[in-house]
Amino acid sequence: MRLRNSSQVVLVEDWQNGGFGLYLHWPFCEAKCPYCDFNSHVAREVDQSRWRAAYVREIDRYAAELPGRVVNSVFFGGGTPSLMAPETVAEILQAIYRAWPVANDLEVTLEANPGSVEAGRFRAYADGGVSRVSLGVQALNDRDLRRLGRIHSVREAIQAFDIAKENFDRVSFDLIYARQDQDLGSWREELGRALGMAVDHLSLYQLTIEGGTAFGDRYAAGNLRGLPEDDLAADMYHVTQEICDAAGMSAYEISNHARSGSESRHNLIYWRYGDYVGIGPGAHGRITCGGQRYATETWLQPDRWLREAEGGETETRRAALSGSMQAGEYLLMGLRVTEGIDTGRFAALNGAPLDHRTLEHLREIGMLEMEGTRLRATRRGRAVLNAVITELLP
């Protein structure tokens, strides 16, 4: 893999892990969606210069600890990163370029909500180094957008998508299905419309009701009506696969579809069990120092994280991961993608291979398939992946 850092060009082999990336969490939103369990907060005012300096300080701190790593991807997630000032994004990226060598095909993704999109802002993001945008569209009818607590309309979503296409070669957007009162026919129609719009990538998520959210509270009180039964939700999943396959946007992961070569490189780092630095309130990371892999977590509350970043320490937890813990995480993440896992890598991490009888049973009932040392979940297996993994890792 050829890599660049300023004027330097070096050759680096990174086969030992799934790559190296940075996740930067921007915790602020204009409004809190009722289904969202992410660490997001509504704030009237944000001191962009202070936050910008904090991110840069954290980048420099991790660079001193992890020198020479080659950055394959940067992901601005949230929250709503499209509320970040373009100069904040640009300065963060410049700090990353100073800190590490970066791949020639570096992917820089920024999540955006259609309601916060402006043409000039998108041009400035692109000029600052963003190469890919992911839009949180979520639904293509206004009634369901209102039910999901979204502050944009379908018309605004389409306008935002058109602006994104003018400024970025790579554009993705999200949709949620198995929504209230949604039937199979309406999802077929909506998905067909989405595929007609799509550039190279779609994220299609089944609505899940999470505890601690507004939807979770309503559901517990019996006030969230019209959710599809399990069988209908499963039918929606299978129809999604069929329609996307026919459109040349097959799933490469349970909820993610792309044209060949347009997969999210950042998310592949997670699923291939690479290293990634998590910066920002509540961000998680997996980093390897001195041959030991660690799980990291940071302060959740934005104000607390900001104060700690200015003081030089934002981590609330850094836990050494044993080989068996790493093997379990590798299996959990790797079976989500269609390429699966390398059983040799699993055995090396775990100190022992997967149980042969369990593997054979899951293969016989059509949940798993093997090709050489590659173990993959079948389409049937990915539909019930939690149950498959429970069998493999009791």
For residue range 74-87, list pLDDT tens digits in order: 999 999 999 999 99
pLDDT at 53 over 90: yes
CA distances from 236 to 38, 63, 179, 190 (A): 25, 44, 11, 12
239-265 tens-digit pLDDT: 999 999 999 999 999 999 999 999 999
The structure tokens 């001193």 sit at 64
pLDDT at 2 over 50: no
Is pTM beyond 0.85? Reply is yes
Q: What is the mean pLDDT of residues 261-284?
A: 97
Name the token pair of 178.
């198995």
d(Cα 289, Cα 293) in Å, to the nearest integer? 6
Q: What are phi and psi of 106, to 5 degrees?
A: -50, 130
Q: How many other CB atoms are found less than 10 A from the CB of residue 9?
A: 11
pLDDT band of residue 116 (cuts 50, 70, 90) is low
Between helix 302-311 and helix 48-65 the angle, nearest 10°, is 60
d(Cα 100, Cα 5) in Å, to the nearest integer? 7
Q: Which amino acid is at 393?
A: L
d(Cα 188, Cα 384) in Å, to the nearest integer? 22
pLDDT recorded at residue 16: 53
pLDDT at 6 over 90: no
pLDDT recorded at residue 292: 96
305-356 tens-digit pLDDT: 999 999 988 999 999 999 999 999 999 999 999 999 999 999 999 999 999 9
pLDDT recorded at residue 17: 60
pLDDT band of residue 32 (cuts 50, 70, 90) is confident
CA distances from 156 to 95, 142, 172, 253 (A): 33, 10, 16, 28
171-216 tens-digit pLDDT: 999 999 999 999 999 999 999 999 999 999 999 999 998 888 888 8
pLDDT recorded at residue 12: 36
Pick the closest to residue 90 from 115, 67, 121, 111 (CA basis). 121
**Nearest 5°: CA angle at 348, between 272 and 321?**
70
